[in-house]
């Protein structure tokens, strides 16, 4: 047996060593948690700033030979990325992907916004520790210091809820608009009591029945929280030849049920409108959300599409088989009103691709087109039957007009650009769009759709909730805007 004195000393040494090791372990855990919070952001947003942000107009819109002139007011040399936090203590890192540099880093709270400016022809990435709302805005259209303006870079886009789905009961985002027009639309997928809280505490409430909608005026560069008792979707913009993709009510961008804004006064000649893209034979039916009447039924062949101009202020689109739906301009300058050659259609749009899901989409055939497929991890994609590899934080570009089908073994985000090919030196004019989070492209909301009262809307059913993931990013630091 060992002497008791030696045992006491040994015991003391063991205890001391244990305490030191415990302290080191606790320190290690603390550092690890801090690293996880601020070193490895969970949510990622990718984007590209168009290289040619300007547009040319005919001197005389009734004479195609009258010559083209540059609209000097349309020229922009940069884009603004605006990142709005949906939760407190959101850590943000913004990178330039061209050289891999860290451009901006900050931490903001819920309903605060961080800005980063990128020059034209720049690829970027935003990382956030918590889901956020990220906007890509035309910087030329942002008179941040102006007291009186006639326009702001209104995004043509749908917004993600705080869980990353496009259908939800809580949204936090920054409004951007000229504040005399009804430019924001709330669609009710279920009966809903809606509360809108402005960043200064002002509160607005209203009720919507399922399949109803309401258009709203909100103040530019002001953050809003929208809370609802039932599931809703939120869109900004209107219908005027600017590209945007419509997310489905089932989650993601491939689905059978869609809500969107429309138009009661389409130009019958101009080559713009909605387009369905399908990989299987299907029947598409369109209802007016205003009158609850069926306004269109059409068959769509597999691996083709259908263009249509539904005369209604807002619509519901149902398909027997999965489809994608986009609002797009084909690129022709011809129209029937306000100058026969005065049409101009362009835009920047985003959509997500779920793993192992065929996603059809259309790029205008009378336009210059670019589609950038972004991946956050090494990914294999198939585009129109051809297989390509994309490295993490990189992209593959598609420049061929027409209908395409993309499939990927991991989640990817696609950014599309289109602008007219007449004249050959034409540029791309856009105002803004929301950038989806790549981690949340496969989030499926839990929502019950209700039959439209007239016109034979499909049977009520429940969409079951599934995966989750998340979002956001970016340099001109701004916290809560004071009026």
Q: How far apart are CA 190 and CA 193, in angstroms?
A: 10
Domain membership flag for residue 401: yes
Neighbours of 301 (CB within 10 A): 11
E-only strand ranges, 279-313:
282-288, 294-300, 304-308
Q: How far apart are CA 314 and CA 188, in angstroms?
A: 12
Domain membership flag for residue 22: no
Domain membership flag for residue 85: yes
Residue 23: which pLDDT band, with cuts at 50, 70 and 90?
very low
pLDDT of 182 = 84
Which tops the pLDDT comparison, 33 or 270? 270
Element (H or E) spanning 272, and its range?
strand 272-278
E-only strand ranges, 18-175:
43-49, 56-58, 68-70, 78-85, 90-96, 101-108, 113-119, 122-128, 132-138, 157-158, 168-175
pLDDT of 148 = 46
Domain membership flag for residue 29: no
Domain membership flag for residue 108: yes
Domain membership flag for residue 240: yes
Q: How far apart are CA 56 and CA 51, in angstroms?
A: 15
Domain that residue 294 falls in = 42-463
Residue 378: which pLDDT band, with cuts at 50, 70 and 90?
very high
pTM of the complete model? 0.86
Q: Is the pLDDT of residue 390 over 90?
A: yes
Q: What angle do CA 190, 194, 196 make, to 5 degrees?
A: 145
Neighbours of 89 (CB within 10 A): 13
Domain membership flag for residue 13: no
- Do residues 436 and 160 make contact, with C-beta atoms less than 8 angstroms apart? yes
Number of domains in the chain: 1
Residue 180: which pLDDT band, with cuts at 50, 70 and 90?
low
Q: How far apart are CA 79 and CA 122, in angstroms?
A: 9
Q: How far apart are CA 274 and CA 262, in angstroms?
A: 9
Q: Is the pLDDT of residue 103 over 70?
A: yes
pLDDT of 140 = 76
Q: How far apart are CA 51 and CA 69, in angstroms?
A: 19
Residue 41 token pair: 């952001």
For the segment 460-477, the average pLDDT, to the nearest whole number, is 34
- Do residues 357 and 351 make contact, with C-beta atoms less than 8 angstroms apart? no
Q: Is the pLDDT of residue 97 over 90?
A: yes
- How do residues 301-321 score in pLDDT, each as one tens digit? 999 999 999 999 999 999 999
pLDDT of 338 = 81
Domain membership flag for residue 15: no
Average pLDDT, the chain: 86
- How do residues 55-90 score in pLDDT, each as one tens digit? 999 999 999 999 999 999 899 999 999 999 999 999
């Amino acid at each position: 047996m060992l002497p008791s004195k030696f045992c006491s000393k040994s015991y003391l040494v063991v205890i001391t060593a244990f305490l030191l090791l415990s302290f080191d372990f606790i320190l290690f855990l603390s550092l690890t948690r801090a690293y996880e919070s601020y070193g490895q952001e969970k949510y990622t947003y990718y984007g590209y700033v168009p290289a040619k942000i300007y547009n040319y107009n005919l001197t005389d819109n009734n004479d195609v030979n009258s010559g083209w002139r540059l609209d000097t007011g349309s020229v922009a040399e940069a884009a603004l990325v605006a990142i709005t936090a949906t939760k407190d203590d959101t850590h943000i890192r913004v990178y330039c992907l061209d050289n891999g540099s860290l451009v901006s880093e900050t931490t903001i709270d819920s309903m605060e916004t961080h800005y980063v400016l990128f020059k034209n022809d720049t690829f970027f990435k935003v990382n956030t520790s918590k889901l956020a709302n990220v906007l890509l805005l035309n910087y030329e259209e942002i008179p941040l210091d102006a007291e009186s303006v006639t326009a702001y870079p209104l995004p043509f886009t749908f917004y993600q809820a705080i869980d990353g789905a496009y259908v939800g009961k809580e949204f936090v985002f920054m409004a951007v608009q000229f504040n005399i027009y009804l430019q924001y639309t709330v669609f009710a997928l279920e009966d809903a009591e809606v509360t809108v809280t402005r960043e200064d505490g002002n509160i607005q409430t209203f009720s919507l029945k399922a399949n109803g909608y309401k258009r709203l005026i909100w103040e530019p560069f002001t953050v809003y929280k929208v809370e609802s008792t039932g599931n809703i979707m939120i869109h900004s913009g209107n219908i005027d030849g600017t590209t945007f993709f419509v997310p489905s009510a089932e989650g993601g961008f491939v689905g059978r049920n869609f809500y969107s804004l429309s138009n009661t006064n389409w130009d019958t000649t101009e080559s713009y409108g909605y387009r369905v893209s399908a990989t299987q034979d299907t029947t598409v039916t369109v209802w007016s959300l205003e009158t609850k009447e069926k306004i269109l039924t059409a068959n769509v062949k597999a691996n083709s599409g259908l263009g249509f101009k539904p005369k209604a202020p807002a619509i519901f689109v149902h398909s027997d088989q999965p489809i994608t739906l986009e609002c797009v301009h084909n690129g022709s300058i011809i129209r029937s009103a306000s100058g026969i050659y005065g049409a101009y259609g362009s835009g920047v749009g985003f959509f997500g691709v779920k793993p192992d899901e065929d996603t059809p989409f259309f790029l205008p055939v009378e336009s210059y087109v670019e589609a950038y497929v972004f991946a956050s991890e090494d990914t294999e994609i198939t585009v129109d039957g051809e297989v390509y590899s994309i490295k993490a934080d990189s992209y593959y570009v598609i420049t061929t007009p027409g209908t395409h089908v993309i499939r990927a073994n991991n989640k990817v985000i696609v950014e599309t650009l289109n602008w007219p090919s007449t004249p050959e030196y034409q540029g791309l004019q856009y105002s803004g769009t929301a950038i989806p989070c790549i981690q949340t492209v496969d989030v499926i909301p839990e929502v019950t759709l209700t039959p439209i009262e007239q016109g034979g809307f499909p049977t009520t059913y429940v969409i079951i909730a599934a995966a989750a993931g998340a979002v956001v990013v970016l340099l001109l630091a701004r916290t809560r805007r004071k009026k």
